[in-house]
Amino acid sequence: MKNHENTSTKNNFRSKCIATAGLVLLCLCPAPAQQRKYRLVANDSAFWQLIPHDAQLTTPGTGFGFTEGPVWDNAGYVWVSDESANTIFRLYPDGHREAMISLGDPDGNTYDRHRRLIDCASVLRAVIRLSKDGRSYRTLASTFHGKRFNSPNDVVLGPDGAFYFTDPTLDLPKGQLQEIPFQGVYRLDKHGNVRLLTKDLAQPNGLAFSPDGKLLYIDDSKKKNILVYRFHRNGTISGSRIFGTEHGSSADGVPDGMRIDRAGNLFVTGPKGIWVWNSAGVNLGRIEMPEQPANLSWGGTDNSVLYITATKSVYMLNTKTRGFVPYD
């Protein structure tokens, strides 16, 4: 997410500080206030069943403007949105990047079942689908009841084959009017029909389905909560409750992108890095990052690698678990 109206707000949302009770089982030297470092902080021994004690954070790409929306491709590259450069890139393991298409503020991405990239194009105020070669796009949805979306932010493929996306005002282009008087979460089906799922979140952002397709998690960046809903076969949701809260200063990051593994553990960006939650809502620990992450994605040959977009860089972290990837 990036706020066109206030760059300092964007920076605040991308880097935050946390005070969570728990046991630090591995602690590399604490970073000074002006300099953050990678470290693993466990609140529960189950954290180490997911992340190796000696897991190394590597950086396949840096020097971007502001990174978002990573999507791994089996060909070995990662799609990356650069919100500042207004460009979607392919990033290769050797650090080479290929500019694919220029768009105003591309944001969260996913694949459809044909491995075509779906993007939340904030300046277009639309959800779009890139062509197979990544050089052109088609608009899938840009309005609800005749009114333009605010700024679609993140998108996932649902168990029913529809797309589910959030529409906060975080990237509403400067000088443009908010036409929809709320910040909603929507369902987009294969025919282009758009259905509002909920308008109860103050600032909906990242979202993910449980591996069995029975739950939908959505985070609220403003309230710093992760909500969970029951998902029904007809594409509706019900019964919201707070799954977890990621406390911390707004200068250190807020709940943003999220992914889930095959066992139902959630990996959610938040204050200082990535918060790891089990399916019961217990915070197992944090992956603290040298730059504030905005989003993440599973990749590698067995979907055990986390690709993390964090401010100006893209990072890789090998895990012990395997990610749930709905389009596989």
- Write the pLDDT tens digit of every residue in 10-53: 434 433 333 333 333 333 333 334 579 999 999 999 999 999 99
Question: Which pLDDT score, from 0 to 100, does residue 250 have?
Answer: 81
Question: Which pLDDT score, from 0 to 100, does residue 109 have?
Answer: 98
* Contact between residue 164 and residue 185 where contact means Cβ atoms under 8 Å apart: yes
Question: Which pLDDT score, from 0 to 100, does residue 3 have?
Answer: 42
Q: Is 86 left (phi over 0), alpha (psi -120 to 50) or beta?
A: left
Position 90 pLDDT exceeds 90: yes
Mean pLDDT across the chain: 91
* Contact between residue 105 and residue 4 where contact means Cβ atoms under 8 Å apart: yes
pLDDT band at 300 (very low <50, low <70, confident <90, very high): very high
The single residue listed with the structure tokens 């790409």 is 61
Q: What is the mean pLDDT of residues 135-153?
A: 98
- DSSP state, residue 179: -
Residues 188-239 have pLDDT tens digits of: 999 999 999 999 999 999 999 999 999 999 999 999 999 999 999 999 999 9
Question: Which pLDDT score, from 0 to 100, does residue 29 have?
Answer: 34
Q: What is the mean pLDDT of residues 171-186?
A: 97
- DSSP state, residue 105: S
Question: Which pLDDT score, from 0 to 100, does residue 1 have?
Answer: 54
- Burial class for 25, CB neighbours closer than 10 Å (0-12, 13-18, 19+): middle
Q: 228 - beta bridge partners?
A: 217, 241
* Better-predicted residue by pLDDT, 2 or 41: 41
pLDDT band at 187 (very low <50, low <70, confident <90, very high): very high
Q: What is the mean pLDDT of residues 94-118?
A: 96
The model carries a pTM of 0.90
Q: How far is Cα 228 from Cα 93, in angstroms, rounded to an integer?
A: 35
Domains and their CATH numbers in the chain: 36-318 (2.120.10.30)
Q: What is the mean pLDDT of residues 89-106?
A: 96
* Better-predicted residue by pLDDT, 26 or 274: 274
Least confident of 6-15, 101-110, 128-137: 6-15
Q: What is the mean pLDDT of residues 85-111?
A: 96
